[in-house]
């Protein structure tokens, strides 16, 4: 079977990719209908998210950026929790310890020291959990990237750093971020392995992550994985990339999209047929429909919550009367 995975593994991997894809496509529609707020599209990032996390056990921790906002789905997190996050509803703030999934991190790279710290803490306690942190190409220009990776390297902390190199930090291309030949090369400066993989090949991503997790669990410290692809959708629903992106290149990338590519491979090897494809998609769509209904059925939050944990003594202009 493919990449040391058996038929059930391959189907589960496929199911997770379809679930992530469906969530993303429905979210863009919900945004256009005014049912969720600004949304960070991850269309064609599913191979990275599903492939890398497939190497984890449920005891391992995942630290997502906004680009991996729905990654909790692979652990069974309810769709409505994630939709509520994008609706700005407090029921979207899950406790990381309930799912071993950190909070969605919007400030670029600031979750990397958190992942390093958690992993080091696990190691000190003699627990063998691994932390996997996701971030973009632009994040590698941030101080917190250096601090997180260097700290994890020095402490041999069990971390897998997964860089989603989609070629863009909003409108800034990778060529304006670094003089390094590849982002994986940055690992050399930290004395850890750096691996470059095709970010649209879910099995290649899985294999790189599997090796990195094994290394981390064996006490040999972190690995930097650079998953290379090209952003095939706007940065977010608030972005109009026509001002800076090459539309022909985007069309080419969309034609090689990762879910269809894996689906074709599984059909060729006899693992998938029309019926399974249809039922997997239907299940994901049903889950989304139930999720948005559950989210919209919740009472709106109390606006005072905005201030509840902000000030012990609110300044005068924020006090009533």
Ligand X SMILES: Cc1ncc(C[n+]2csc(CCOP(=O)(O)OP(=O)(O)O)c2C)c(N)n1
- Of 105, 154, 156, 155, nearest to 134 (Cα)? 105
Q: For residue 311, count CB atoms less than 10 angstroms from its CB and return exposed for 0-12, middle for 13-18, buried for 19 or more.
A: exposed
Alpha carbons within 13 angstroms on the beta-carbon side of residue 47 total 27
Question: Would residue 39 show up in a list of annotated catalytic residues for this protein?
Answer: no
DSSP-derived pairing of the beta strands 159-165 and 172-173: unpaired
| Binding residue (CB under 6 A) for ligand X from 43, 145, 168, 206 | 168
Question: Would residue 21 show up in a list of annotated catalytic residues for this protein?
Answer: no
DSSP-derived pairing of the beta strands 172-173 and 168-169: antiparallel
Quote the least distance from Cβ 313 to ligand X, whole Å: 29
Quote the least distance from Cβ 167 to ligand X, whole Å: 8
Which residues share a beta bridge with 197?
Answer: 227
Question: Would residue 42 show up in a list of annotated catalytic residues for this protein?
Answer: no
> Hey, what long-range contacts does 278-283 have (CB within 8 A, 24 or more apart)?
280/14, 280/15, 280/18, 281/18, 281/22, 283/15
CA R_g for the chain: 20
Q: Please give the helix or strand (H or E) that residue 267 lies within, else none.
A: helix 258-268
> How far is Cα 102 from Cα 93, in angstroms, rounded to an integer?
10
Binding partner at 106 among ligand X, Mg ion, none, C-beta below 5 to 8 Å by kind? ligand X
Residue 37 interacting with ligand X (CB under 6 A)? no
* Binding letters toward ligand X, positions 169-208, x by CB under 6 A: xx--------------------------------------
Quote the least distance from Cβ 92 to Mg ion, whole Å: 24
Quote the least distance from Cβ 41 to ligand X, whole Å: 10
Tokens 């069309």 label which residue?
251
Quote the least distance from Cβ 71 to ligand X, whole Å: 13
Query: Of 16, 26, 229, 235, which is the active-site residue?
Result: 235
Binding partner at 210 among ligand X, Mg ion, none, C-beta below 5 to 8 Å by kind? none
DSSP-derived pairing of the beta strands 172-173 and 194-198: unpaired
Q: Which stretch binds ligand X (CB under 6 A): 106-114, 154-162, 210-218, 244-252?
A: 106-114
Q: Which is nearer to ligand X, 14 or 230 (CB)?
A: 230
| Binding residue (CB under 6 A) for ligand X from 166, 196, 223, 237 | 166
Residue 108 interacting with ligand X (CB under 6 A)? yes
Residues at the site binding Mg ion, with contacts judged by CB under 5 A: 136-137, 166, 168-169
Quote the least distance from Cβ 220 to ligand X, whole Å: 27
- Cβ count near 251 (within 10 Å): 10
Binding partner at 107 among ligand X, Mg ion, none, C-beta below 5 to 8 Å by kind? ligand X
Q: Which is nearer to ligand X, 72 or 167 (CB)?
A: 167
Binding footprint of ligand X, residue count (CB under 6 A): 15
Q: For residue 159, count CB atoms less than 10 angstroms from its CB and return exposed for 0-12, middle for 13-18, buried for 19 or more.
A: buried
Query: Of 244, 249, 289, 311, which is the active-site residue?
Result: 244
> How far is Cα 21 from Cα 9, in angstroms, rounded to an integer?
18
| Binding residue (CB under 6 A) for ligand X from 19, 36, 115, 139 | 139
> How far is Cα 21 from Cα 50, in angstroms, rounded to an integer?
10
Summarize as ranges the residues that interact with ligand X (CB under 6 A): 67, 106-108, 135-139, 164, 166, 168-170, 235
Catalytic site residues? 231, 235, 244
């Amino acid at each position: 079977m493919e990449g040391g995975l058996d038929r059930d593994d391959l189907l589960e991997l496929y199911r997770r990719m379809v679930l992530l894809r469906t969530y993303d496509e429905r979210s863009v529609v919900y945004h256009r209908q005014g049912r969720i707020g600004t949304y960070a599209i991850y269309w064609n990032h599913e191979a990275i998210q599903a492939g890398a996390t497939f190497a984890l056990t449920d005891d391992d921790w995942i630290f997502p950026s906004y680009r991996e906002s729905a990654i909790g789905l692979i652990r069974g997190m309810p769709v409505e929790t994630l939709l509520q996050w994008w609706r700005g509803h407090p029921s979207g703030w899950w406790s990381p310890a309930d799912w071993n999934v950190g909070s969605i991190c919007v400030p670029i790279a600031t979750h990397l020291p958190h992942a390093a710290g958690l992993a080091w803490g696990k190691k000190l306690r003699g627990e063998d959990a691994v932390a996997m942190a996701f971030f973009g190409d632009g994040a590698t220009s941030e101080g917190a990237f250096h601090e997180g990776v260097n700290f994890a390297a020095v402490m041999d902390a069990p971390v897998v750093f997964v860089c989603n190199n989609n070629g863009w930090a909003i409108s800034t291309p990778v060529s304006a971020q670094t003089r390094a030949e590849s982002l994986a090369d940055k690992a050399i400066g930290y004395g850890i392995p750096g691996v470059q993989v095709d970010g649209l090949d879910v099995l290649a991503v899985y294999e790189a992550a599997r090796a990195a997790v094994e290394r981390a669990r064996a006490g040999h410290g972190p690995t930097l994985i650079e998953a290379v692809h090209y952003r095939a959708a706007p940065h977010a629903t608030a972005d109009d990339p026509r001002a800076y992106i090459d539309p022909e290149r985007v069309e080419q990338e969309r034609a090689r999209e990762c879910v269809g590519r894996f689906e074709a491979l599984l059909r060729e090897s006899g693992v998938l047929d029309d019926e399974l494809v249809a039922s997997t998609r239907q299940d994901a769509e049903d889950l989304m429909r139930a999720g948005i209904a559950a989210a919209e059925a919740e009472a709106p939050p109390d606006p005072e919550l905005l201030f509840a944990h902000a000030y012990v003594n609110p300044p005068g202009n924020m006090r009533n009367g």
